[in-house]
Structure 1
């Protein structure tokens, strides 16, 4: 997006001579903020952040303090901010489904989210999105209405999908992309224009359009860049598995999750380089959802024993960390056994960090504080080594 500065904003900046040096956030509880928004007839600008979020800090320091941003937000909104891991923020995080940081919500006095954006951006982009929030036709809610009213036209679909992408609403984006692409003539999906749109927007494996594209991937790879085609299908499958897992974790959207899982199993009935990993992840998700930890641990045992997974230890490591999250104390020894199996394969530095972190988490849960601290120091040293070698490191998990 391009940086913008309207004449009005510039004029205000000159007249006030940088009167506002930062966005001013109101004090009080959520009920008070809703009341204030109603009395002032304004939307609430809601900054959802955490103390460890780097982009959150960068936005607060570099964007919230710019005069044009401060003037615009202080004039047009009731500004509030909540740490999503403290106090009332914990409840509001669940209420509004915040899953990434920073998330910026624009909420009316009735408590309904009318617009949403996620991630850091420039001051110009930030003001532009704030203006969208004040224009009913440009909010996510308004774009949804336009999409339906237009009969799912291309222009309305792209505008709506773009907004959903900015809002990190991958579940809704999946539904909308299916509605749009499944209305197109199947053969037209192979044409360059629609293929480029599918690359960007179509992320639903239960879509008839996606199934058609996957069945005709040989035509796609002979016509377009093969690496791009392969990456697209892998990305859709893996991101869909993540959404399925998230749906079970939230106990929301289970019907669609099951439809996507069924579609993935059908499409990947014929083995390829990544199908085994995708299907294994699906099995683990469904075993956990059914509370079948006997089948879950058996599956991880199979993964660790299968030579195909030799260089794909991430599947077992993720499964082990998930098992810890479900507090399966009687299976902690199993986790350490899996870690030993992976360690004996001489893993790369990235995987060594994951294993050290996994062991640290298990030892803490076993209340073996001294050993846990030793493992924590090992993890720290490995992360430092990776940084010095400019090697990517895995994200730090909560203990």
Structure 2
């Protein structure tokens, strides 16, 4: 019966006329606790649209999907609908409670405040109705799958569906954990396959994962399954992704795990026959100075690393950008002025085009950090024109 109803709704949606819609989802206002009480009293689920003011897909969802007649009728009938800016009011607290880390995130919550189902990203009208139907029906929700997993269910088809649901809901840590546990059950015949490669690429990104350590160690075997460039590019991404955690660290608000850092550094030092290893080590050393608050040592480390010539143009720019942008957030005007002159010298190494424009943009950031906003705007405009020059 549920499938027949859903098919009818989706068919109606496809046949909607092209002219303007008249109805929209009615979002209710009030404190979260009062919304929960209302949901409990009416025995309805809450549909919570988690958005931010700067989120483009959030605005598109509100403008083109929430105003769709069929969507509006379905949600107004079946849910208590609420919109909340996750950066204002009760938003930050709810974002933390429900682990909201991407926008838009759409939550389906019961009157007890328990998360029943969730999905992340822009949803077309038919897909949003489908997700709402899933939340109402109950057996195919993310929470139902999590409960089954916690109860020990490990059937392969179930695990694959569960990983897919975690991906759509943007629960990366749990997604990686489940995928890692799943692949850890593979024998070698199943591990060294394109299927395994696909699972890893879409679900695992921590180079310290035992799965990725094995894949890196035996990457030559994957070269026979997937193009070498694709394998190397993915592995490089995982290393850099982990390193980025330290480059973009916010010492004032983020707790630094020294043991974790040292373990990763030692692992990187121990890898063999990987040409980008020196880049990783140099970046980790530089990032550590940033985390320790020694900005003088950070700039000195950058100078030393560049003298060794271990970075090509793209890697060099990425390495410099991360640390210079971080330097701009400090109040060390002496080092900021020094860095500005250094970026000017590097920009002069490129007569025109992309790289010159990017180093000019870094100069503009450093000017802004010095309070020279007008000069920064002028330089940004010049950088834009230089970038267009071939």
Q: How far, CA to CA, are the matches of 1:241 and 1:39 in structure 2? A: 49
| Contact 1:205/1:263 (<8 A) preserved | no
Distance 1:159 1:360, change over 3 A: same
Task: Measure, in 2, the Cα distance between the counterparts of 1:292 and 1:114.
Answer: 46
Alignment of 1:261 onto 2:278: no
Post-superposition Cα deviations, 1:84-104, rounded to whole Å, max 9, x if no partner, equal 444444554455444432222
Query: In structure 2, which of residues 354, 359, 370 is the aligned counterpart of residue 366 of structure 1?
Result: 370
Q: Which residue of 1 is the match for residue 339 of structure 2?
A: 335
Q: RMSD of the alignment, in Å?
A: 3.7
Deviates further, 43-52 or 251-260: 251-260
Residue 203 of structure 1 corresponds to which residue in structure 2? 205
User: Separation in 1 of the partners of 2:249 and 2:155?
Assistant: 29
Contact 2:27–2:81 (Cα < 8 Å) also in 1: yes
In 1, distance between residues paired with 2:254 and 2:297?
21
User: After the TM superposition, which of the residue ranges 254-263 and 89-98 deviates more from structure 2?
Assistant: 254-263
User: Structure 1 residues 35-44 or 86-95, which shifts more?
Assistant: 86-95
Cα distance in 2 for partners of 1:118, 1:111 equals 19
Closer, same or farther: CA 273–168 of 1 in aligned 2, 3 Å: farther
Counterpart Cα distance in 1 of 2:188 and 2:64:
47
Structure 2 distance, partners of 1:201, 1:251, is 25
Q: Specify whether residues 336 and 197 from structure 1 end up closer, same or farther in structure 2 by C-alpha distance, changes over 3 A only.
A: same
SS in 2 for 1:309: coil
- Aligned partner of 1:222 in structure 2 is 224
Q: Distance in 2 between matches of 1:243 and 1:376?
A: 28
State the TM-score, normalized to the length of structure 1. Answer: 0.79
Give 2:43's aligned residue: 41
TM-score after normalising by structure 2: 0.80
What is the Cα deviation at residue 119 of structure 1?
1.8
Q: Give the CA deviation at 1:349.
A: 4.0
Q: Are the structure 2 counterparts of residues 150 and 96 from structure 1 closer, same or farther at C-alpha, using a change threshold of 3 Å?
A: closer
Q: Does structure 2 conserve the Cα–Cα contact (< 8 Å) formed by 1:339 and 1:359?
A: yes
Instruction: Select which of 99, 102, 115 maps to 1:100.
Output: 102
Encode CA deviations 1:177-225: one digit per residue, 9 max, x unaligned: 2222223224531134333333333333223222222111112113432
Residues 48 and 107, structure 2, Cα contact 8 Å, conserved in 1: yes
Q: Which segment is superposed worse, 370-379 or 246-255?
A: 246-255
- Pairs aligned (count): 380
Distance 1:376 1:225, change over 3 A: closer
- Equivalents in 2 of 1:206, 1:329: separation in Å? 38
Residue by residue, what CA displacement relative to the aligned partner does 1:5-30 show, whole Å, maximum 9, x if unpaired?
A: 8245369989xx99972122112233
Q: Does 1:239 align with 2:241?
A: yes
